[in-house]
Amino acid sequence: MIYRLLAILAMLLFYGVYLGKLFAQKKQGIKTNQIAKGEKQKSVYRTERIMGAATYSVLIAQLVSIVFDYNWMPPNARFSGFCVAILGDITFAISVWTMKDSWRAGIPERDQTHLVSDGIYRYSRNPAFLGFDFMYIGVLIMFFNPLTLVFTLFAMVMLHLQILQEEAFLEKRFGAEYIQYKQTVFRYLGRR
The pLDDT confidence band at residue 34, using thresholds 50, 70 and 90, is low
Query: In whole angstroms, how far apart are CA 24 and each of 19, 31, 55, 103, 126?
Result: 8, 10, 22, 11, 22
| Per-residue pLDDT, 36 | 66
Question: Rounded to whole angstroms, how far apart are CA atoms 127 and 97?
Answer: 11
User: CA angle, corner 59, sides to 55 and 63, nearest 5?
Assistant: 170
Question: Which H/E stretch holds residue 165?
Answer: helix 146-174
Residues 38-51: tens digit of each pLDDT: 777 888 889 989 99
The pLDDT confidence band at residue 84, using thresholds 50, 70 and 90, is very high
Mean pLDDT of the residues in the chain = 91
Question: Rounded to whole angstroms, how far apart are CA atoms 98 and 93?
Answer: 9
Q: Is the pLDDT of residue 165 over 70?
A: yes
Residue 105 has a CB neighbour count (10 Å cut-off) of 20
Distance of CA 161 to the CA centre of its chain: 12
Mean pLDDT calculated for residue range 112-123: 90
Give percent above pLDDT 70 in the chain.
97
